[in-house]
A and B are shown apart, each in its own frame.
Chain A
Amino acid sequence: MSGAVMIVDDSLTVRMDLVEAFSAEGLRAIGCENIAKARAVLAVEDVALAVLDVLLPDGSGVELVREIRAMPGGAAMPILMLSTEAEVRDRIRGLAIGSDDYAGKPYERDYVVARALELLGRRAGPSQARQTTVLVIDDSATFRNELCRALEREGYIVLSAASGEEGLRSAALHRPSAIIVDGVLPGIDGATVIRKLRLDAAMRQTPCVMLTGSTLDRSAELNALDAGADAFVRKEENMELVLARLAAVLRAGSGPERATPSLHSPKKILAVDDSETYLDALTSTLRGEGYDVIAARSGDEALEMLGAQPVDCILLDRIMPGLDGTDACRRIKASAATRDIPIIMLTGSESREAIIEGLSAGADDYVLKSSEDDVLKARLRAQLRRRQIEDESRHIRLELLRKELEAVDRLAQQERAHKTELERQLAEIRRTQEALAKHAERLSIVHEIDRALIGEIDLHALAAVVLQPLRTLLGVPRVVVNLFDFAAGEVEWLAAAGRRRTHIGPGVRYPLSFMGDLEALRRGEPQVIDTHELPSGPEKEALLTSGVRAYMAVPMIAANELLGALSFGGEHTQFTPEQATIAREVATQLAIAITQARLFERVKRHAEELEQKVRERTSELEVANRELEAFSYSVSHDLRAPLRAVDGYALMLQEDYTARLDDEGRRLLGVIRGSAAQMGRLIDDLLKFSQVGRKPLASAPLDMRALAAESIGELSPAYPTVRVELRELPAATGDRALLKHVWMNLIGNALKYSARSDGARIEISGRVDGAENVYSVRDNGAGFDMRYYDKLFKVFQRLHREDEFEGTGVGLAIVQRVVVRHGGRVWGEGAVADGACFSFALPTGGTSNGKP
């Protein structure tokens, strides 16, 4: 603090006392005995604060206040008035002109210094930190302009509004330091404006001055105070008063401090009584107690005083002319600005009615005028203490409320932030969903191609299924699948889809150069071709006519072979990465499909060739088969007939000429007949053998034991020395006639080869072995040499000489053929002179094999 404190008082004692007091606080103090001296100091010194006596030898301190306020920079200078003048009029005058506070004489030196320091400290703040903005709300343009000009002259930044609504918007936007609002406005009135401001956490501290109409309308005034106005000014009063009020409310400043003045400061007591004698006595008594007493002689005066400066307690005479104590009390309690000031009603009568009336009007206590001074003092102290405590608790409440409001604000802010975040996330989810839907569509098309790939081998059908959805997905007017014909240097349409129709199949050809850089395509790089840059020709014209200004060719590559390109185009020369990605996916699939289709085509052709060959072979076979049949037929007829004749005529010779033949002749005839018989057996076996191979199988369930028994019945009578044992045999499924042959052969062999042995015996048995039924015929006869096993089942191969055992060498071959045709197998075991065992196995499930 660089400025000095100027003390203007004609009393040297006062000057010295205060200079000393301020100096003790580290402040430079300058004493002035009159106004002239003060003017001189003000002219040369940087005065930070002035303490003025009201009555000075060369004029009034109030005049000096006016001068200071008019000086450049003087408007903000704190001024403390020292006055013996307890008169309300004087005080109001001083305050109205611009003094900041009054200290009554006899002053208390510590209070004056503390108050001065307080004023100085407060001044150091906002007014220097930023310029003061004032919002003027008035529907009268004339008055508004006048007021605005006056305010601007004072250095305020002025905002103006013609209605309450506009004013509130402006206030919310600009946050003015103070608001002057007309009480009567179109739309919402001034009181409502103030009420709304008070409800707004951000603006409830903003000081408000209410302008009231020219007529003295008490209710409007009360309404304004009730709404929370800090001060009110009548419009008819001069502009200076308005400015002074504004300065006062601004000085009162904002912040919670306002509500709780220091505990240590002297309390301001407003004493109101129409009796001058009583008032004087009261004033002097209370001053003696160290209170700053302001005396008012009527209720009106008291209210006016309160409008200018708050007090700590009011002593109010009940009965006064004009506005009496009860009414004044009601007014004071009705105003938001003053309702907290304790009121002690002073009453001359002890009447119960009077006390009730006073209390019901809002008085906090009452004291009989006739009481001892001590009673009043005690009551006053109690009210002041109560006020103090109330202020503190209110302060705490306000603080709590403020914190609560801030918390609510923060919460709301968080909610807003949260909501914004939610909306952002929702938007993101929607975007993701859209992307997902798009992706799903993409997948579905690729899947469709996959499906078609499996189901449709025909390329054209595949193209028909895929192209239109692809065109829609890409969002282009045209999509074409081009196949490259490198030999011809041309491109041929496989299929094309346009807005209106789909072209399927070959026929459209154009130069290979239309697909851009072929080497780049081979590397898998899509080409973007501007139609205008194509060589002139009917193809270019056709493209331009159909609205294709540019197109992208995406290579179709499979197994490192460039097969063609998927091209799509439209009015724009730019293609999105998404379009390129989709086209690539589809092109890859199509390339595979084309390869598959071509492969399938090749396989089909190959299969057809094979089938043709099979048909040729089959017919060759059929021819051979027919020839074989014809051969068998002629063998059975043509060979048998002469053979029969040989035998027949030999017999006739034997019968008719036997007497003329000698033994040798008869022997020779015997040989002829024997040979004929053997040849007959050979022919029969051979025919049988060929029939076994050709005849279709007539499969049926068979009782194998019965079949074997039947064969034994036919064969064994010729071999009476052989004992035959037939055991249990599993049933079979097969061709009865053919399997009978098998039994006949095997049992016949066993009988034949064992007949000459002593104790000849054959045993026929069977068993189920897994998936096979095994049948065996065992004998204890001549047996065979296992070294020649290979020859056992071959046609015309014999292991015994004809003179040992007669036979054709076809029997076992027939056995093998039959068993194999039934899906079974046959084998033999044996040793020379130690018997043989022949077995065959048939599948238990019967034969599924109908072929040789």
Chain B
Amino acid sequence: MESLEPIEILLVEDNPKDAEMTLRALRSHNLGNRVFWVKDGAEALDFIFCRGVYASRDAARPPKLVLLDLKMPKVDGIEVLRQVKADERMRAIPVVVMTSSNEERDVTESYRLGVNSYIVKPIDFAAFLEVVAKIGLYWVLTNRVPG
């Protein structure tokens, strides 16, 4: 999936089935080839801050959208969100939390840290597809990012 095209959507998801369904949804709206998928929070942070295996990445070209799962091994979604929103340069990247959890504390904490949207993944796949497509289109195509 390595591409010269700039990465527009970073998908942070440890569940491959959810990832496949998300990608399918994005693809169906022609956003599929601009998605980069990482499988945990640590990798997500390396990608965003151009560290580790992603050190060669151009930090000046951050992703246009981060789709972030919360419940992940190693570094969880909340931690990723905190670091992104705490960073002067990365703060502007829209982060949409997509999670199975409807837990109040997760919702509250996410908004406190500065999440741009909080989406509960529906069990109904059709509904899921619709949600993902809407978010992707909105944040990638409609939203203007400063700078």
Contact = CB atoms under 8 A, between A and B. Distances in A.
A122 interface: no
Interface in A608-650: 632-633, 636-638, 640-645, 647-650
B101 A649 contact: no
B17 interface: yes
Contact of B126 (A643, A651, A695): A651
Contact of B100 (A640, A647, A649): A640
Nearest to A680: B123
Contacts of A645: 15, 17-18, 21
Interface residues of A, number: 26
For A643, A644, A676, A677, the residue with the greatest tally of chain B CB atoms inside 10 Å of its CB is A644
A661 interface: no
A641 B100 contact: yes
Nearest to B121: A644
A644 B128 CA distance: 9
Q: Residue among A638, A641, A679 with the most chain B CB within 10 A?
A: A641
Interface in B72-124: 99-104, 121-124
A761 to B, nearest CB: 31
Contacts of B104: 691, 695
A638 to B, nearest CB: 8
Nearest to A648: B125
Contact of B17 (A637, A648, A677, A695): A648
A400 to B, nearest CB: 121
A677 B127 CA distance: 11
B71 interface: yes
A47 to B, nearest CB: 151
A676 B15 CA distance: 18
A652 B15 CA distance: 17
A226 B15 CA distance: 154
Contact of A644 (B18, B71, B102): B18
Contacts of B100: 636-638, 640-641, 644
Interface in A637-688: 637-638, 640-645, 647-652, 676-677, 679-680, 683-684, 687
Interface in B1-51: 15, 17-18, 21, 24
Contacts of B123: 640, 643-644, 647, 676-677, 679-680, 683
A641 B18 contact: yes
B101 A644 contact: no
Contacts of B102: 636, 684, 687
A644 B21 contact: yes
Nearest to B18: A641
Nearest to B126: A651
Contacts of A644: 17-18, 21, 100, 121-123, 125, 128
B17 A641 contact: yes
Contacts of B101: 633, 636-637
Nearest to B106: A633
A504 B104 CA distance: 60
Contacts of A636: 100-103
Given A636-B101, A637-B71, A687-B102, A647 B125 contact: yes
Contacts of A632: 103
A648 B23 CA distance: 12
**Most chain A CB within a 10 A radius of its CB, from B99, B102, B125:** B125
Interface in A707-749: none
A644 B13 CA distance: 14
Contacts of B99: 637
A237 to B, nearest CB: 146
Interface in B50-67: none
Contacts of B21: 644-645, 648, 652
Contact of A680 (B17, B24, B103, B124): B124
Contacts of A649: 17
Contact of A640 (B24, B121, B125): B121
A683 B123 CA distance: 10
A265 B125 CA distance: 169
Contacts of A638: 100
Nearest to B71: A637
A94 B54 CA distance: 179
A294 B122 CA distance: 170
A598 B50 CA distance: 74
Nearest to A647: B125
A633 B70 CA distance: 12
B103 A633 contact: yes
Contacts of B126: 651
A633 B104 CA distance: 10
Contacts of A691: 104
A633 to B, nearest CB: 6
Contacts of B121: 640, 644
A337 B103 CA distance: 140
Contacts of B122: 644, 680
Contacts of A647: 123-125
A257 to B, nearest CB: 134
A652 B24 contact: yes
A632 B71 CA distance: 14
B15 to A, nearest CB: 5
Contact of B125 (A633, A642, A651, A695): A651
A94 B103 CA distance: 156
Contacts of B18: 641, 644-645
A829 B125 CA distance: 39
Interface in A182-216: none
Contacts of B17: 641-642, 644-645, 648-649
Nearest to B103: A633
Contacts of A676: 123
Nearest to A677: B124
Contacts of A651: 125-126
Nearest to B25: A648
A674 to B, nearest CB: 11
Nearest to B21: A648
Contacts of B103: 632-633, 636
Nearest to B15: A641
A311 B128 CA distance: 166
Most chain A CB neighbours (cut-off 10 Å) among B71, B102, B126: B102
A680 B126 CA distance: 14
A43 B99 CA distance: 169
Contacts of A641: 15, 17-18, 100
Interface in A558-588: none
A649 B24 CA distance: 11
Nearest to B123: A680
5 contacts: A641-B17, A644-B125, A647-B124, A651-B126, A683-B123
Top 7 A-B residue pairs of the complex, sorted by shortest distance between their CB atoms = A680-B123, A648-B125, A645-B17, A640-B100, A648-B21, A651-B125, A637-B100
Interface of A: 632-633, 636-638, 640-645, 647-652, 676-677, 679-680, 683-684, 687, 691, 695
